[in-house]
Each structure stands twice: as C-alpha cells, then as structure tokens.
Amino acid sequence: MISPDITKRYSQYLKLERGLSPNTLDAYMRDLQKLSEYYADNGYDFRSVTLAQLDQFASTLRQANISARSLARILSGVRSFYKFLQLEGEIEQDPTELLESPKTGRHLPQVLSTEEIDRILAVIDQSKPEGVRDHCIIEMLYSCGLRISELISLTFADLFLNDGFIRVRGKGSKERLVPISPRAISELKGWSSIRCHITPQRGFADHVFVSLRRGRALSRISLFVYIRQYAAQAGITKDISPHTFRHSFATHLLQGGANLKAIQEMLGHEDLSTTEIYTHIDRTHLREQILTCHPRNKNLP
C-alpha cells in the first residue's frame, strides 16, 4: 500500500510543479489508488516493486476489461509516480523504465470543411444577442484553434486586438499568444457592443463570453448543445463538438502549407507528436482528392 504521506506529496507535485488541471489531477490520483489497492492485496512494498509485478498489475486491469486506451493512461500515471519517487530520493531505480503500454492506434478526429463551417455560421440568427455571441464563439474556435476551456475562460484583459493577438491559458495554466484574424476581431467588437450591457455576476465581470440570462461564464455542456443544434440546422450529419473547430483549424492550416512546428505552438501542444496526428488527416484528405479527381480513378466499373 502507498502511504498517505507519499500520496499527499505526489498530489502536491502534480498540482504545483507539473501544473495539472483539476480534472487531470483527479484522474492521476484515482489511478494511483488502483495501484495502491493492488499492492495492498498482494503484500507488495511500492518502494521495491519489480517490473514483473507491474506487468502483473497491467494484466489484472486487462482481465477487468479495461480498454487499451484507459490502460495506457493508467500506466502513464504509474510511470509519472515512479519518476516522482526517484526525484524525491525515495527509490534509486525506476521499475517502470521498461514497462510497456498497449498499442491504442491513432484516432483521427472529425474535421469540417470550410464550406461546412460557413453553412453552420449562416444558420445563426444574428438579429438576436445570443446569435451574435454564438457566431463570434464559433469564429473564435475556428480562427484561433482554441480549446473550449480556453474560450470560456477568456477575459477582456487577454485581448490585444490592436496587435492582432489574444492571450490564451492552456493546460497546466500555461500561457501562449495566438494570432487572431481580422474577421474574428470584427466579430469580437460586435459582441462586445452587446456584452457591455450585460450585468455579470460577481467574479465574471471580465469574462468575454457569458450567459445573457445568468451573467455567468458559459458551460461546456451548453456550448456543446448550441453547436450540435446549429450543425443540425445546417444539415451537417457529422458527429461534431466544439473541439471539431480546433481540429479543422489545424488541418486547414496544414493543408494551406503552414509549418507543423508553428501549428504546435498555436495549439499549445507540449509534444510535437500530438500535433503530428494532423499530418495523418492531411494524407487521408489527399488520398480522397486523388481518388475523386485523378482521371485514372474516374468512371471505374
């Protein structure tokens, strides 16, 4: 079993030094609890556990029908925990160095075409305040490649419109500057002329996007529902979410010739391999274009 003192110190390390979000921190601690219970059930000392015993831990999770993706996440947390123990001088040798994760394959995210995005924007009724806000939100998600959490936490202090940038707080509270298009700037100014007449609740005075009725920051769920409704009205049958506009942003940049490293910086990815998934999407798009447009592929029986 892992001692409460070690557990507490590890939690503080994840929060303060690695800057994990509350949701990610909770997931890491739940996974650590699974490992601690496994040690308690088998009488293992977490400081002297072997690679074989950790492999057995992974096997017990597989037998419990844990998916490959979830298992990979849990084992990533196990590696993180033992790196922490090594940093703290609790262990000399990291037993997870050769611990293998299952292959999960690459899930290619759904992407909208520019025509589909235009169709979604076209169905929004901008004669209503909610329509002006939602039109601006979708333009921001697509033009700046924002995560939904980044958009709903955006404040007026984060807008540097004269310079053509916005400041974004990403995962782990890491900040980055993202270019903003003239069209998105125009949309923001249009929404701001309405936003200034809304009386926000305490703590939300500087939030750019708020609920018109409650004066609070918009929730993830409400934005998810709005976007699904607009997509249905536009006749889009793809299974989309607010994050789909971020995927579309990156894919369209890559197709337009943008440098992968630049896309990584704009998206706020720590690891370039995360951004590389869009090269797979681009190749898929290229193959579809060849099959559709090349004369040798036309009029096949």
* Tens-digit pLDDT profile for residues 123-146: 999 999 999 999 999 999 999 999
Other C-beta atoms lying within 10 Å of the C-beta of residue 211: 18
* pLDDT computed for residue 250 by the predictor: 87
pTM tops 0.85, yes or no: no
Residue 288 pLDDT more than 70?
A: no
The residue-averaged pLDDT of 3-7 equals 91
Read off the pLDDT of residues 176-221 as tens digits, 9 standing for 90 and up: 898 999 999 999 999 999 999 999 999 999 999 999 988 998 888 8
Tokens representing 227 are 């976007």
Find the helix or strand (DSSP H, E) in which 176 lies.
strand 175-179
Task: Report the pLDDT averaged over residues 115-129.
Answer: 96
Task: Count CB-CB contacts under 10 A for residue 196.
Answer: 8
What is the rounded average pLDDT for all residues in the chain? 86
Neighbouring C-beta atoms of residue 111, cutoff 10 Å:
22
Among 83, 102, 79, which Cα is nearest to 91's? 83
In whole angstroms, give the CA distance from residue 15 to residue 21. 7
Side-chain half-sphere exposure of 218, counting CA atoms within 13 A: 25
**Cα 49 from chain centre:** 34
Q: 5-14, 53-62, 219-228, 269-278: which range is least confident on average?
A: 269-278
pLDDT in tens, 216-255: 988 888 898 999 999 999 999 988 889 899 889 888 888 8
Q: Indicate which residues carry an active-site annotation.
A: 147, 171, 243, 246, 269, 278
Question: Mutual orientation of helices 220-233 and 114-122 as an angle, nearest 10°?
Answer: 100
pLDDT for the residue numbered 280: 62
State pLDDT tens for residues 154-166.
999 999 999 999 9
- Helix/strand/coil for 45: coil
For the chain, list the domains and their CATH numbers.
4-87 (1.10.150.130), 114-292 (1.10.443.10)
Among candidates 183, 148, 126, 170, which has minimal Cα distance to 270?
170
